[in-house]
Chain A
Amino acid sequence: MRKAALAAAEDGYFLEADFDIALTHTLEEALNKGVPLYFVLEFELTRPRWYWFNERIANARQQYRLSYNALTRQYRVGVGALYQNFGSLREALEFMSRVRVRDIVEPGSLRKDAAYTAVLRLRLDTAQLPRPFQVSAVGSREWNLSSDWYRWTVSP
């Protein structure tokens, strides 16, 4: 995680974040053998309350699908129904590293005088791996790729 910010726009807020994604050797090998990798971007915006549980303002989750087409020798990153092809893995990862999510918070749901806490992380979703890899993934560092929770304070 390099940086992350919540920026205000005309029609709400959008999330800007930059990551450093480095696949492990095992993951890269699996990817090149055709195994699709799913990444999940998790974002949560809360307002701390000292007297009760924190109030949850926004909660977002976005899935990336990184796959390799052996026939065309292209990497593909899919976000929802959209996708983009890349000739090399580096390009595909670079694309994924720059996260820009629009409308992540409803406009007007943030008050000017309050401070909010935002947390963000990007991780490999091992549950989406084919089943045999899941067994291997349990407790294995090679198969676990996750940024720490990045936490920052938002005061609009």
Chain B
Amino acid sequence: MSAVSPPAKPALPRVVVRYALVACVGLGAVALFLLATASASPARFAERYPLLLVLNGAVAAMLTALVLYQLVTLRRKLRAGVFGARLTLRLVLLFALMALVPGALIYGMSVQFLARSIESWFEVRVDKALESGLNLGRGVLDGMLRDLAARADAMALALSTRPPAEHLAALNALREQAGIEEATLFSERGRVLAFSGNERVGLLPELPGAAALRELRAARSYSAIEAIPDKGLYLRVLAPVPVLALAEEPRVLQLLQPVPAQLAREAEAVQAGYREYQELALARRGLKRLYGITLTLTLLLALLSAAALAFELSDRLSAPLGVLVEGTRAVASGDYSMRAAVASRDELGQLTESFNRMTQQLAEARAQAERHQAALAHAKAYLESVLANLSAGVLAFDEELNLRAANRSAGDLLGIDFAPLIGAPPARWPASAPGIAELGRAIAEAFAAAGTAQWERQVERPLRDRTQLLLLRGTRLPGATDGGCVLVFDDITQLAEAQRAAAWAEVARRLAHEIRNPLTPIQLSAERLQAKLAGKLAPPDAEMLARSTQTIVNQVAALKHMVDAFTQYARAPELAPRELDLNALTREVLTLYESSLGHAVRLELDPELPPVVGDPARLRQVIHNLLQNAQDALAGEPEPRITIASGYAEGMVQLAISDNGCGFPGEVLGRAFEPYVTTKPGGTGLGLAIVKRIVEEHGGSVALANRAPRGARVTLRLPAAAHEPARQPAAQAKV
């Protein structure tokens, strides 16, 4: 099958062709029936015979036209390569052959048989017999005529001798004598002179016709056999009565004698047979032609009907194939709509039905696949959304440890964009942000070291002003799910710090408790020693005692102070937060340092500063601690300078206290907020730890940095009240 094109549009709708076919076949059947009837029975339709022939011819012409049209249509379909056209052609040829061969056979046999049987009717013997029969009849009749003529001549002669007056009596006697039915004597002009008849004769004589009289005048005699209406066959003889005298009027004697009934019947029968035989013999050719034409027309109509029907049937047979092809094409192009089922109970109908079922199943399967795909996509989107909204960072690597995917939190936690890193192994991550390259190397090492096992590792990542503590957990995925590795990491800086703070708080509480208890007995014992022994000792000893006692008391007081500080650190009282102005609080605290610092303090406070929510007592302590630190750092500084600046940025209120003091040594800078880390000779190391703790309890942060060329800066950041009014600092503190 070459180029497949859509079915050629027939010039006539198929229904029209079908109706035309049915009409032609029906008309043909009727016409053939009439023709056969007319051929078989001579009487009926005899005069309509030519019309019937024309009718049959017309039907044959119509059928021929129909078949030609179907042929042309089929040819066009074949040219156009319509599917099923070849099958139609083959079926048509098959059907036509099946009709033609038996039809032609029967036709040939019939024509042969017909010719033989018609010819066999006409035999020389029959011909001769009939002819002889006729001649016999004629001979008998002629004999009777001659006999009658002889008698007539005799009677005429006898009459001629009689005078006219005796004619009637003589005629009667002569008639009786001769045994003749009717005898009439009339003049040549036709006037009846005498009439005699037996009992069967009517009152009036049967006069001869003009033609008979003419012949009599010409031939002097007339004898003929005539059929007289209502009476049958008669012998009529006219004989002129010899004229003896010139004056006499010429007279004619007529004798009428019936042909015996038996003879007449037989003769009539012979004649009828002869006539029919002659008729048939004459019509022999015509008959052959008649039957031949009838047979030919029958064959023609039958063959043409068969051919036209063959086209129709073939079309019907091959139509389901066309439907199937169309359906197949539609399915191939993704159209799963139902095909028109062929309404038949045979295999073709079943075929189309099962094709429809198959199409339906395909459509269902596809719909199911689409549903599954949609469900999968949904699940994937859900998983991705879960991953994306996970606070932990998740990185996925393939088997070669190239980065495949990263969730949003991963980028947020590390402060970088992972999109350009997709496909790159962690060992080769660039230093796009501080510590990323080192982090990548650590990840690569950890995966390499752990093999297939799970691993967990904490990594410190130095930032500009702080160190980020990351907890990394790595897992190799099982091979069944694409393989690769997954890294989950979390920023545990705050968690670690909180843990450390909690540990320190515990230490401080215990320490305070253990130390405070012996301190009072020590002080009391020292004071009692001095009171008892002061009077009993020599003045120099007494003085030494007094000095030592004083030292003990002082040191115990110092210890108590320290223990109080610890207690304060360990025991975090409940916050009593309210809205307050950080600027006002700063000024309030500064009044305490008016005398010691005075001119060294410079204020750069933002008058537009929004309020913060906080416990004023605790925040006052923060500022107090920071100022104390600054003051301590400025000891021995020729030009001490403290700058206090406040500001507002990104929803946070900032307060920065800078000095130009000694600053923090490098090793301390990272851990300055831990307890007992101090650079001051007499410091407990708790000042900044308390600051950090309080600030974090308020949901803020504190940062520490050295200044160039000298000095340090501490920056507090507290959430502004307008932005987070309902913040629960207590909850924050318990992290």
Contacting pair B282 A71 (CB below 8 A): no
Collect the chain B residues with CB atoms within 8 Å of residue A85's CB.
209, 211, 224, 226
What is the CA–CA distance of A74 and B284 in the complex, to the nearest angstrom? 26
What is the CA–CA distance of A85 and B229 in the complex, to the nearest angstrom? 12
Contacting pair B289 A130 (CB below 8 A): no
Contacting pair B268 A71 (CB below 8 A): yes
What is the CA–CA distance of A87 and B283 in the complex, to the nearest angstrom? 26
Contacting pair A132 B274 (CB below 8 A): no
Q: Is A19 an interface residue (CB 8 A)?
A: no
| Chain B positions 105 through 125: 1 when the CB is less than 8 Å from some CB of chain A, otherwise 0 | 000000000000000000000
Collect the chain B residues with CB atoms within 8 Å of residue A132's CB.
280, 283-284, 286-287, 290
Contacting pair B283 A130 (CB below 8 A): yes
A128-B47, A132-B286, A136-B285 given as contacts; is B224 within 8 A of A87 (CB)? Answer: yes
Collect the chain B residues with CB atoms within 8 Å of residue A74's CB.
224-226
Residue tally, chain B, CB below 8 Å to A: 39
Q: Is A101 an interface residue (CB 8 A)?
A: no
Q: Which of A7-15, A26-34, A50-58, A116-124 has 4 or more CB atoms under 8 Å from chain B?
A: A26-34
Collect the chain B residues with CB atoms within 8 Å of residue A87's CB.
211, 215, 224
Q: Select one of B39, B141, B209, B290 contacting A71, CB under 8 A.
A: B141
Collect the chain A residues with CB atoms within 8 Å of residue B46's CB.
127, 130-131, 134
> In the complex, which residue of chain B has the Cβ closest to the Cβ of A33?
B278
Contacting pair A71 B42 (CB below 8 A): no
| Chain B positions 7 through 51: 1 when the CB is less than 8 Å from some CB of chain A, otherwise 0 | 000000000000000000000000000000011001000110110
B1 to chain A, nearest CB (A): 52
What is the CA–CA distance of A29 and B279 in the complex, to the nearest angstrom? 10
A135 to chain B, nearest CB (A): 4
> In the complex, which residue of chain B has the Cβ closest to the Cβ of A143?
B286
A87-B224, A91-B211 given as contacts; is B283 within 8 A of A70 (CB)? Answer: no
A61 to chain B, nearest CB (A): 15
Contacting pair A136 B286 (CB below 8 A): yes
Contacting pair B281 A33 (CB below 8 A): yes
Q: Select one of B42, B211, B274, B289 contacting A70, CB under 8 A.
A: B274
Q: Is B457 an interface residue (CB 8 A)?
A: no
Judged by DSSP, the binding face of B is: helix
Collect the chain A residues with CB atoms within 8 Å of residue B53's CB.
138
A117 to chain B, nearest CB (A): 29
- A residues 97-142 near B (Cβ < 8 Å) are 127-128, 130-136, 138
A69-B271, A132-B283 given as contacts; is B50 within 8 A of A138 (CB)? Answer: yes
Contacting pair B42 A130 (CB below 8 A): yes
Residue tally, chain A, CB below 8 Å to B: 26
- B residues 299-331 near A (Cβ < 8 Å) are none
A147 to chain B, nearest CB (A): 21
Contacts between the two chains (Cβ within 8 Å), count? 92
A70-B275, A72-B225, A87-B215 given as contacts; is B138 within 8 A of A133 (CB)? Answer: no
What is the CA–CA distance of A148 and B416 in the complex, to the nearest angstrom? 123
- A residues 33-91 near B (Cβ < 8 Å) are 33-35, 69-74, 84-87, 91
A71-B138, A131-B46, A131-B49 given as contacts; is B275 within 8 A of A136 (CB)? Answer: no
> In the complex, which residue of chain B has the Cβ closest to the Cβ of A91?
B211
Collect the chain B residues with CB atoms within 8 Å of residue A72's CB.
141, 224-227
A71-B141, A71-B225, A84-B209 given as contacts; is B290 within 8 A of A34 (CB)? Answer: no
What is the CA–CA distance of A6 and B287 in the complex, to the nearest angstrom? 43
Collect the chain B residues with CB atoms within 8 Å of residue A134's CB.
46-47, 49-50, 286
What is the CA–CA distance of A101 and B365 in the complex, to the nearest angstrom? 98
Q: Select one of A29, A71, A133 contacting B271, CB under 8 A.
A: A71
What is the CA–CA distance of A132 and B286 in the complex, to the nearest angstrom? 5
A53 to chain B, nearest CB (A): 26
Collect the chain A residues with CB atoms within 8 Å of residue B722's CB.
none
A85-B209, A87-B211 given as contacts; is B274 within 8 A of A133 (CB)? Answer: no
Q: Select one of A34, A84, A86, A136 contacting B279, CB under 8 A.
A: A34
What is the CA–CA distance of A30 and B283 in the complex, to the nearest angstrom? 9
> In the complex, which residue of chain B has the Cβ closest to the Cβ of A34?
B275
> In the complex, which residue of chain A has the Cβ closest to the Cβ of B293?
A135
Collect the chain A residues with CB atoms within 8 Å of residue B278's CB.
33-35
| Chain B positions 256 through 286: 1 when the CB is less than 8 Å from some CB of chain A, otherwise 0 | 0000000000011011001110111111111
Collect the chain A residues with CB atoms within 8 Å of residue B289's CB.
135-136
B172 to chain A, nearest CB (A): 29
Collect the chain A residues with CB atoms within 8 Å of residue B194's CB.
none
Q: Select one of B209, B225, B282, B293 contacting A35, CB under 8 A.
A: B282
Q: Is B237 an interface residue (CB 8 A)?
A: no
Collect the chain B residues with CB atoms within 8 Å of residue A30's CB.
282
Q: Is B137 an interface residue (CB 8 A)?
A: yes
Q: Is B213 an interface residue (CB 8 A)?
A: no
What is the CA–CA distance of A69 and B441 in the complex, to the nearest angstrom? 143
Collect the chain A residues with CB atoms within 8 Å of residue B215's CB.
87
> In the complex, which residue of chain A has the Cβ closest to the Cβ of B271?
A71
> In the complex, which residue of chain B has the Cβ closest to the Cβ of A95?
B211
B145 to chain A, nearest CB (A): 10
Q: Is B470 an interface residue (CB 8 A)?
A: no
Collect the chain A residues with CB atoms within 8 Å of residue B286's CB.
132-136
What is the CA–CA distance of A33 and B284 in the complex, to the nearest angstrom? 13
Collect the chain B residues with CB atoms within 8 Å of residue A131's CB.
38-39, 42, 46, 49, 283, 290
What is the CA–CA distance of A35 and B290 in the complex, to the nearest angstrom? 18
Collect the chain A residues with CB atoms within 8 Å of residue B134's CB.
70-71
What is the CA–CA distance of A133 and B47 in the complex, to the nearest angstrom? 11
Contacting pair B50 A34 (CB below 8 A): no
| Chain B positions 200 through 232: 1 when the CB is less than 8 Å from some CB of chain A, otherwise 0 | 000000000101000100000000111100000
What is the CA–CA distance of A18 and B440 in the complex, to the nearest angstrom? 140
B488 to chain A, nearest CB (A): 111
> In the complex, which residue of chain B has the Cβ closest to the Cβ of A67?
B275
B464 to chain A, nearest CB (A): 125
B256 to chain A, nearest CB (A): 15
What is the CA–CA distance of A130 and B284 in the complex, to the nearest angstrom? 12
Contacting pair A136 B283 (CB below 8 A): yes
B679 to chain A, nearest CB (A): 146
What is the CA–CA distance of A34 and B281 in the complex, to the nearest angstrom? 11
What is the CA–CA distance of A84 and B210 in the complex, to the nearest angstrom? 10
What is the CA–CA distance of A49 and B403 in the complex, to the nearest angstrom? 114
Closest 10 CB pairs of A and B: A34-B275, A132-B283, A132-B286, A33-B278, A127-B47, A136-B286, A72-B225, A71-B271, A135-B290, A132-B287
Known pairs A33-B275, A85-B209 / 14 extra A-B pairs, C-beta < 8 Å = A30-B282, A35-B278, A69-B227, A71-B268, A85-B224, A85-B226, A127-B46, A130-B42, A130-B283, A131-B42, A132-B286, A133-B286, A134-B49, A138-B50
24 A-B residue pairs with Cβ-Cβ distance under 8 Å, sorted by A, are: A29-B282, A30-B282, A33-B279, A34-B271, A34-B279, A35-B278, A35-B282, A69-B271, A70-B134, A70-B275, A71-B134, A71-B141, A71-B267, A74-B225, A74-B226, A84-B209, A84-B211, A85-B211, A87-B211, A131-B46, A132-B286, A132-B290, A135-B287, A136-B286
